[in-house]
Amino acid sequence: MVASPNPSISFKPPSPAAALPPRSAFLPRFALPITSTTQKRHRLHISNVLSDSKSTTTTTTTQPPLQAQPFVSRYAPDQPRKGADVLVEALEREGVTDVFAYPGGASMEIHQALTRSNTIRNVLPRHEQGGVFAAEGYARASGLPGVCIATSGPGATNLVSGLADALLDSVPMVAITGQVPRRMIGTDAFQETPIVEVTRSITKHNYLVLDVEDIPRVVREAFYLASSGRPGPVLIDVPKDIQQQLVVPKWDEPMRLPGYLSRMPKPQYDGHLEQIVRLVGEAKRPVLYVGGGCLNSDDELRRFVELTGIPVASTLMGLGAYPASSDLSLHMLGMHGTVYANYAVDKSDLLLAFGVRFDDRVTGKLEAFASRAKIVHIDIDPAEIGKNKQPHVSICGDIKVALQGLNKILEEKNSVTNLDFSNWRKELDEQKVKFPLSFKTFGEAIPPQYAIQVLDELTGGNAIISTGVGQHQMWAAQFYKYNKPRQWLTSGGLGAMGFGLPAAIGAAVARPDAVVVDIDGDGSFIMNVQELATIRVENLPVKILLLNNQHLGMVVQWEDRFYKANRAHTYLGNPSKESEIFPNMLKFAEACDIPAARVTRKADLRAAIQKMLDTPGPYLLDVIVPHQEHVLPMIPAGGGFSDVITEGDGRTKY
């Protein structure tokens, strides 16, 4: 029996909150601050025709949080309820309105409790990996922690790729798993896996709940950990008997995170900021190297660039933090970055590394990377400072706060008048003219780069783009111009194929007013093709631009370049019918009642993409592209800027 709502019941924050800064004070590296535990998220409604969405797609943050309201429980203060109901109410108190949960024996109680919630809706994935990637897409598009739920055993292990992906890309997420009853843990019970042990090294933190009274505190801690400092995934494993146990919850239990809180960076680095400004003043060829840590500091970053005139190169994860349409943007650097971005880093005398981790796909040969430059590294994670490249000046702290401090110094000292990097910018502009991003056209065949270019034009650069992993991912990074943060959702560090479609689901739930396009490859798309069913049932307006080359394109490119074009299981079609497109992706769409079309000629492409964008609801466009295309430029793994490849494709022998 559920008591009628009692207006006198309100949420009392944890007792140390008065002494500790609120969650919003710790501006995370890859998430928007959570300003209120009662913050409401978007309710789902359908808006999918581009012409209806142009005014909203330029906004990349969620709606402003509502004023903090006293939380009203469904239960009387002293009324016992199941642990599963306590868990669901704890999620409600964190402002959760959407979860991605797939039921099973050990999580049934949680799902039953979800049906009793008037606040939380479940978007039912068709595979747990689809659920965890959708929760990631939700978090990446909104900045709020994504929530996914799975059962024990295989349900829990199906979350592993998503948890690893969220940790590598600093995505705030809370994953909840059912577990066998406490008395059966360690007995090899049916559908038992020690998921806390399995995920220990791929989560920011995880919990096995052994006392039902711990649920309110554990959930509060999980959301705090996921979204503060350097964000990441937190897992909560809840045995079935805990879910079923009756309890009167204590909502005012304090968090117990003394070690974590004591290690949070303190914003006391004025001397370092002055030193950085001095280095900028002394430099002749400075470059900004900007990563995912800057996605929540785009205003401060733009102001810093206005004040200094320093050109900006972005990592794969940092795309959108600084507008790609700006003259000072060098676009992406790294293995498949622009020649001019990599040239700038190679020739620079000062490298300002903000919110980055010197990943191997960016640096290549570490000794040759920015070898002429003094390096300034600002990052919120102390483990990243000096891990791969030793900086000359480093700050462990929030990039937003650091940029605010730098801007203040520059404005107060009028230092800008002394900064003149016009010769350096002119040199880089010459490189842009000499080595632009380009592609070749062969007859009526559709260059995949051209398809993305047309999509960019027709959406005004305002769509949210998700991708799988491979060639299409790199082309989407190169040829779609991201001017705002949280437009670009991709699996960067882990490189998980199958990410694009479920991530688009999460983005469509988080940002229902935006145009969401999954730019996918046939290899990645088929890995989570079952999520078409979720898209249809939820009527999510996800557009799928499928660049279908019948091959595992990126591996084929490496075969062409380094293995004499010997094909080692990279053909994804039917060898006995090579002239036919296999599998027929249109049939998958038809099976899920999703409108779809195929385009094979360049002349027909623009109209086909326009029709996709204009069609209400979901749509799949199967774009047949040649498999001989290579992603260029390319710096081979472990190479330096001098090894850059700018010419050739699979039609050439190497």
Tokens of 618: 């979901």
Strands 246-247 and 81-82: antiparallel
Helices (H), 124-257: 128-142, 154-157, 160-168, 195-198, 215-227, 240-244
Alpha-carbon gap, residue 601 to 106, rounded angstroms: 51
Active site residue 190: yes
Alpha-carbon gap, residue 526 to 632, rounded angstroms: 25
Active site residue 554: yes
Q: Any residues with CB less than 8 A from the CB of 234 and at least 6 apart, and which? A: 173, 174, 175, 203, 204, 205, 206, 207, 222, 223, 225, 226
Q: What are phi and psi of 479, to 5 degrees?
A: -105, -10
Catalytic residue among 79, 112, 191, 610: 191
Catalytic residue among 173, 332, 474, 554: 554
Active site residue 128: yes
Tokens of 334: 């790294």
Q: What angle do CA 588, 592, 596 make, to 5 degrees?
A: 60
Helices (H), 498-629: 500-510, 522-527, 531-538, 553-562, 585-591, 602-614
366, 458 in Cβ contact below 8 A?
no
| Alpha-carbon distance values, 142 to 42, 138, 170, 509, 600 (Å) | 10, 6, 14, 10, 35
545 DSSP β-pair partners:
519, 621
Catalytic residue among 109, 128, 136, 192: 128
Catalytic residue among 82, 240, 389, 481: 240
Name the 3-class secondary structure at 467: strand
Q: Which helix (H) or strand (E) holds 270?
A: helix 270-282
Helix axes 128-142, 531-538, angle to 10 degrees: 60
235 DSSP β-pair partners:
175, 206
* AA letter at 336: H
- Residues with catalytic roles: 128, 190-191, 240, 554
